[in-house]
Amino acid sequence: MIYLDHAAATPVSKKVFEAMEPYFSHEFFNPSAAYLPAKKVSAEYEAAKGVIAHAIGAKSHDLVITAGATEANNLAFSFLNKEPVFSSSGLEKSEMSYAGQPAEPSPSETNLSVSSGIYIPDFSNHFIIQKIQVLYLSTEHDSVRKVAEKYGGAAIDVDRNGRILLDDLKAKITDDTRLISVALVNNELGTIQPLSEIAAIIRKVRLDRLSRGVKTPLYLHSDASQAMNLLNVNVARLGVDLLTLNAAKIYGPKGVGALYVSHEVKLKPLNYGGGQEMGLRSGTENVPGVMGFAKAVEEVTKHLNGNRKKYALWRKILLDELQGYELVNKKHTLDNFVVLCYNGIDAERLIFLLEDRGVYLSTGAACAASKGVKSHVLKAIGLSDSEIAGSLRITLGETNTEEQIHEAAKLINEAVKIERRRR
Amino acid sequence: MIYLDHAAATPVSKKVFEAMEPYFSHEFFNPSAAYLPAKKVSAEYEAAKGVIAHAIGAKSHDLVITAGATEANNLAFSFLNKEPVFSSSGLEKSEMSYAGQPAEPSPSETNLSVSSGIYIPDFSNHFIIQKIQVLYLSTEHDSVRKVAEKYGGAAIDVDRNGRILLDDLKAKITDDTRLISVALVNNELGTIQPLSEIAAIIRKVRLDRLSRGVKTPLYLHSDASQAMNLLNVNVARLGVDLLTLNAAKIYGPKGVGALYVSHEVKLKPLNYGGGQEMGLRSGTENVPGVMGFAKAVEEVTKHLNGNRKKYALWRKILLDELQGYELVNKKHTLDNFVVLCYNGIDAERLIFLLEDRGVYLSTGAACAASKGVKSHVLKAIGLSDSEIAGSLRITLGETNTEEQIHEAAKLINEAVKIERRRR
C-alpha cells in the first residue's frame, strides 16, 4: 500500500496510541468526580491541554476541547449574532442580503430561523436584515463556508496559487464586519496564507474604528487543521484571536479538536449541559482522546525541521519523475501537498486505476469527493471544469518512504499513459 | 479499589477495546474517501451503527452519531423554534414567560438572542414571546434542563420515588407543547419512568389536536444513557420519537453517543460542514469510537438478564448489611442504583473518609458535584437540605465482585460510625 492521502486522514502513531491506552480501561474515571483517582485524571487532562496550548503559545484555559475541527470552526463563529438584525427603515442595498418575500406564514409555523431575512408578520414594510458579519476565504473548508453563510458571510477572492488577495479583503471590510476567517493552510492545495499580514490589516481597521467611535469588534479566526504538521503555529505571531486545531490530521485520534480563544472574544456555547470546558462545551471530557492529541502535538512539533526537509525532497522527486502534468500549487504551499492537473484526463478514473495498484489518493477534500461535487477550491483559483476534472491531490505523510515516492511516480505515470491511450 | 460510581463513568471493557484497536492505526482511513480501504471502513462504520440501531429496534439511518449524550440531547431539541415567537396582541399571561423590559438597546448590539423575550426596538407595545414548547421532568440531567430552558420549557413534577406525576404532565400540556423529555432512567436515583404510559398520553393529545385541526406536532424524547445496562430498550415499545444513547455509561469509550430520530421529526443540525450523518452532524466520523460503541451495546444487551439478577442480589446485600440509613430510591429503580440518606451526616465527609479506604462513590451527578451545587434531583423528590447533605449514591457495575460488596458495606458502616462519633 502506498497511501498518499494524509490530508484526509492520518493513522494514530504508536506513541499517541500508547499515550491514550491507559485512559480507556484503567484511568477511566470521570474528571468531574470528587475522589482522588478522578482528580488525578482531571489534573492529567488539564496538563495535556497545557501541552497543546503551549505548542501554540497559549495556556490551557485558552483552549476549548471539541469533537474535531468542524465543531471548533462552528464554535468560533458563535459570538456573532445568529439572529437577524432588525431594520425598520432599511439599510443600504449593498449592506444587506435580503431574501424575504412578504408572505403570510401560518400561525403555527411562524418562525424567524432563516439566514438571510424574512418578512415579519403584522409589521408591514419592515424586514429582517442579515448584515455581512463574516468575511471568509473562497477556498475555505465547508465547516467554515457553510457556517459563515448562516451568519451572513461574503467570500474573499484568491489568486491562481490560492493566496488571499489582500486588496479584495480590504475592499470588503465594512463597519459590520466582525470576523475574518482564513485557514492557515488550505486543505486541498496546501497554500499557506499570510496571516500576519491579514492581522496587520485588522489592527489598522480596529484603530480606525476606535478613532471614529465605532464599537463593533473585529476578530481573526484561522483553521490550522492542516498546518501543524510542517509549520510552527503561534497565536501571537500569527495575530489570530481564534484558532482551530485537529488531532486527526497530525497522527492523533479522530473525534478530537480544539479551539483557541483569546480573552477578548466572548463565545456562546453550541450546547448546554454539565458546563465542562469553562461552560463552552458541555459533556464528559474525552480523556483518552485529549491525551492522544497532546502526544500528537508534542511529536509533530518535535520533528518540524526534519519533516520539512523530508517532504521538500519527496515533493521534488515527484515533480521530477512524474510526466505530462501541470503543477497546480506552485507557490506558498506546504511541501507535503502536491496538486497536479492532467488536462483532458478524468482524475476519478486515474484514482480507480491506481487503487488497483495499491496507491491511494484523492481528487480533493474527502467529504466533497464523496458527494461527487466539483472542488470549489480549484474553481476559486481559476481552473476550468476540465482542469478540475483532471486534478489529483497527493498529500505525503509519515506512512511514506522515499522508495514509495519513486514507486508512486512510476505507477501514476503508467496510469496516466493508460488513460491517455484510452481516449 | 472498590469503585461504586459506575453511573459517572465505566471503564472500556476488554472486548470493546479490542473492537476499537484496529481502527486507530491500521483501518484509519477517512470513511468519505473514494478508494477501497476507505470504503471498507465506511461500510464497517455503517454496520456498527446498524448493530447499535438494531439493539433498540431501529435502523442504521435512524441514528445520528454524536460526541456523547450531551450533544445528542441538545440535538434532540433542534427541531424547536429557538427564535422567539411574535405577538402583537399578547397571549394569555399563563401561556407566556415574559422577561423583557422596554429598554433602548444600542444599535450595534441589537439582537434577539434571549431565551425568554425582549422588547423589539421601534415597534412600541409589541413584545417577543417565548412559548412553553418543552415539558421536561424536574429530575432531568442538566443537558436536558438547560437546553429546555433555552427553548422555553417547564418542569413536570415527580413523586417521592422520582417517578413522573402523570396528572401533572397532563395538566401542563398545551397546544404550544411540542416536546416532552423524560429520561428512561434517572442518573442520580436510577428511577425508571413509565415511558409507554407517557407515550399513550401523547397519542391521545395528538388525536385531540388532529380532531381540532391543530397542526403543532408533539414528540417524546428520552435520554436512555443510564438505561441500557439493565433494560431492554426498544423505541417502538417505549413509544419514543427521539432517544439518546451514551457509549461511556455502558463500558464503551467516552466522547461517543447517538440520537435515535424517528422519520417524522425534522431536526436542524447543530453544526455545519462536510455533511456527515445525513447532514445532521458534520465532521469526520469517529470510527474507532463507533466500533467500540457497537461492541459495548452488543455485550450489554447479551448479558441483561444475568446482570439484572446479579445487581438485585448485590443491592439486597447492601441494604441488609448497611446500618443507620434511610433508603432514598425505594421503588421503580434500576438495581445497580442504591441511594442512601444518612440524616445529620455530611456525605461529602463520608466520601473523603471512604476514599482513604479505597472506596470511591459520589453524592450525585459528577458534573454537579464538582461545582458544589446541591442536587436538584434530591430536591425535586422532596428531600430537605439536611437530607440532601447526607445522601450518598452507590452505583454498582462490572468492576465489582460480591466480595467487594460485603467489604464496601463494612467500610461504609465504619465511616458512618466515625462521623456520628465526631458530632
Residue B128 has pLDDT above 70, yes or no: no
Predicted pLDDT at A131: 86
Contact residues, B window 71-90, toward A, CB-based 8 Å cutoff: 71, 73-74, 81-86, 88
Q: Percentage of chain B surpassing pLDDT 70? A: 87
* Chain B interface disruption, residue of A212, A254, A293, A299, most B CBs within 10 A: A254
Helices (H), A2-128: 14-20, 22-25, 36-55, 69-76
Q: Which of B142-146, B227-231, B372-376 has the lowest mean pLDDT?
A: B372-376
Q: Answer yes or no: do A121 and B74 touch at CB < 8 A.
A: no
Backbone φ, ψ for residue B136 (5° rounding): -135, 155
Helices (H), B341-401: 347-356, 366-369, 376-380, 385-389
**Distance of residue B71 Cα from the nearest chain A Cα, in angstroms:** 7
Predicted pLDDT at B123: 45
pLDDT in tens, B245-282: 999 999 999 999 999 999 999 999 999 999 999 999 99
Residue A171: how many CB atoms within 10 A of its CB?
11
Q: Answer yes or no: do A253 and B67 touch at CB < 8 A.
A: no
Tell me, rounded to whole angstroms, the distance of Cα A5 from its chain centroid: 16
The CATH number that domain A2-11+304-422 falls under is: 3.90.1150.10
* Cα B28 to Cα A9: distance, rounded to the nearest angstrom: 7
Is the minimum CB–CB distance between B351 and chain A shorter than 8 Å? yes
The CATH 3.40.640.10 portion of chain B extends over 49-82+130-301
Tell me, rounded to whole angstroms, the distance of Cα B235 from its chain centroid: 16
* Cα B199 to Cα B184: distance, rounded to the nearest angstrom: 12
Q: What is the mean pLDDT of chain B?
A: 89
Predicted pLDDT at B137: 98
Q: Percentage of chain B surpassing pLDDT 90? A: 83
Predicted pLDDT at B151: 87
Contact residues, B window 289-308, toward A, CB-based 8 Å cutoff: 289
Is the minimum CB–CB distance between A417 and chain B shorter than 8 Å? no
> Chains A and B: how many Cβ contacts under 8 Å?
302
Please give the single-letter amino acid code of residue B422: R
Is the minimum CB–CB distance between B40 and chain A shorter than 8 Å? no
B237 vs B116: which has the higher pLDDT: B237
* Cα B139 to Cα B378: distance, rounded to the nearest angstrom: 8
Q: Are the C-beta atoms of residues B257 and A292 closer than 8 Å to each other?
A: no
Q: Answer yes or no: do B35 and A147 touch at CB < 8 A.
A: no
Predicted pLDDT at B113: 33
Q: Answer yes or no: do A17 and B25 touch at CB < 8 A.
A: yes
* Cα A204 to Cα B28: distance, rounded to the nearest angstrom: 45
pLDDT category at B363 given cuts 50, 70, 90 is: confident
Q: Answer yes or no: do A85 and B111 touch at CB < 8 A.
A: yes
Please give the single-letter amino acid code of residue B376: H
pLDDT in tens, A203-254: 999 999 999 999 999 999 999 999 999 999 999 999 999 999 999 999 999 9
Q: Which residues of A touch B275 (CB under 8 A)?
A: 142, 367, 371
Predicted pLDDT at B95: 34
Please give the single-letter amino acid code of residue B229: N
* Cα B162 to Cα B180: distance, rounded to the nearest angstrom: 17
Please give the single-letter amino acid code of residue B101: Q
Residue B110 has pLDDT above 80, yes or no: no
Residue A1: how many CB atoms within 10 A of its CB?
9
**Distance of residue A164 Cα from the nearest chain B Cα, in angstroms:** 21
Q: Answer yes or no: do A110 and B86 touch at CB < 8 A.
A: yes
Average of per-residue pLDDT across B348-364? 93
B307 vs B118: which has the higher pLDDT: B307
- CA-nearest residue to A86 within chain B is B110
* Cα A29 to Cα A10: distance, rounded to the nearest angstrom: 28
Task: Give the residue from A389, A387, A395, A329 showing the smallest Cα distance to A361.
Answer: A395
Is the minimum CB–CB distance between A272 and chain B shorter than 8 Å? yes
**Distance of residue A161 Cα from the nearest chain B Cα, in angstroms:** 24
Q: What is the mean pLDDT of chain A?
A: 89
DSSP B87-136: ESS---GGGEE---------GGG-----SS--BPTT-TT-EEEEE--EEE
Q: At what angle do helices B287-302 and B36-55 cross, to 10 degrees?
A: 30
Q: Answer yes or no: do A274 and B70 touch at CB < 8 A.
A: yes
| Coil, strand or helix at A69 | helix
Query: Helix, strand, coil % (nearest 5) of chain B?
Result: 40, 15, 45
Residue A118 has pLDDT above 50, yes or no: no
Residue whose entry in the numeric block shows the C-alpha cell 443491592: B315
b or e along B170-202 (b: 16 or more beta carbons within 10 Å of the residue's beta carbon)?
A: eebbbbbbbbbbbbbbbbbbbbbbebeebbebb
Q: How far is CA B252 from CA B44, B246, B324, B334, in A?
A: 17, 8, 36, 20
Q: At what angle do helices B402-422 and B304-321 cross, to 10 degrees?
A: 30
Query: Helix, strand, coil % (nearest 5) of chain A?
Result: 40, 15, 45
* Cα B271 to Cα B269: distance, rounded to the nearest angstrom: 5
Task: Give the residue from A72, A280, A290 showing the smallest Cα distance to A183.
Answer: A72
Is the minimum CB–CB distance between B355 and chain A shorter than 8 Å? yes
Q: Which of A209-223, A291-305, B172-186, B353-367 has the lowest mean pLDDT?
A: B353-367
Paired residues of B246 in beta bridges: B257
Q: Answer yes or no: do B255 and A256 touch at CB < 8 A.
A: yes
The three three-digit cell numbers of residue B215, written as one number: 397542526
pLDDT in tens, A249-268: 999 999 999 999 999 999 99
Among positive and negative, which fits the CA dihedral B391, B395, B399, B400? positive
The three three-digit cell numbers of residue B23, written as one number: 481502527
Predicted pLDDT at A384: 93
Is the minimum CB–CB distance between A248 and chain B shorter than 8 Å? yes
Residue B126 has pLDDT above 70, yes or no: no
Residue A117 has pLDDT above 50, yes or no: no
pLDDT category at B131 given cuts 50, 70, 90 is: confident
Helices (H), A162-230: 166-172, 195-212
pLDDT in tens, A121-155: 434 444 555 689 999 999 999 999 999 998 889 99
**Closest in B14, B255, B360 to A289, CB measured:** B255
The CATH number that domain A49-82+130-301 falls under is: 3.40.640.10
Backbone φ, ψ for residue B220 (5° rounding): -115, 125
Paired residues of B257 in beta bridges: B66, B246
* Cα B43 to Cα B52: distance, rounded to the nearest angstrom: 14
Average of per-residue pLDDT across B355-371? 79
pLDDT category at A95 given cuts 50, 70, 90 is: very low
* Cα A217 to Cα A178: distance, rounded to the nearest angstrom: 6
Average of per-residue pLDDT across A386-397? 95
Predicted pLDDT at A364: 72
Average of per-residue pLDDT across B129-136? 86
Is the minimum CB–CB distance between B244 and chain A shorter than 8 Å? no
Is the minimum CB–CB distance between B401 and chain A shorter than 8 Å? no
- Stated pTM of the model: 0.90
Q: Which residues touch A234 (CB under 8 Å, ≥6 apart)?
A: A56, A57
Q: Which residues of A touch B392 (CB under 8 A)?
A: none
Q: Answer yes or no: do B271 and A30 touch at CB < 8 A.
A: no
Among positive and negative, which fits the CA dihedral A247, A252, A256, A261? negative
pLDDT category at A423 given cuts 50, 70, 90 is: confident
Q: Which residues of B touch A256 (CB under 8 A)?
A: 255
Contact residues, B window 93-132, toward A, CB-based 8 Å cutoff: 106, 108, 110-113, 120-123, 126
pLDDT in tens, A343-374: 999 999 999 999 999 999 998 766 555 666 78
Q: Answer yes or no: do B113 and A36 touch at CB < 8 A.
A: no
Rounded to a whole number, what is the distance in angstroms from the first to the last CA of chain A? 28
**Closest in B30, B215, B360 to A37, CB measured:** B360
Q: Answer yes or no: do A288 and B254 touch at CB < 8 A.
A: yes
B104 vs B46: which has the higher pLDDT: B46
Q: How far is CA B72 from CA A30, B173, B288, in A?
A: 19, 24, 19
Q: Which residues of B touch A151 (CB under 8 A)?
A: none
Q: Which of A244-248, A293-297, B109-113, B144-148 has the lowest mean pLDDT?
A: B109-113
pLDDT in tens, B328-344: 999 999 999 999 999 99
Residue A191 has pLDDT above 80, yes or no: yes
A366 vs B419: which has the higher pLDDT: B419
Q: Which residues touch B408 (CB under 8 Å, ≥6 apart)?
A: B2, B4, B318, B359, B394
Predicted pLDDT at B153: 94
The CATH 3.90.1150.10 portion of chain A extends over 2-11+304-422
* Cα A142 to Cα A162: distance, rounded to the nearest angstrom: 16
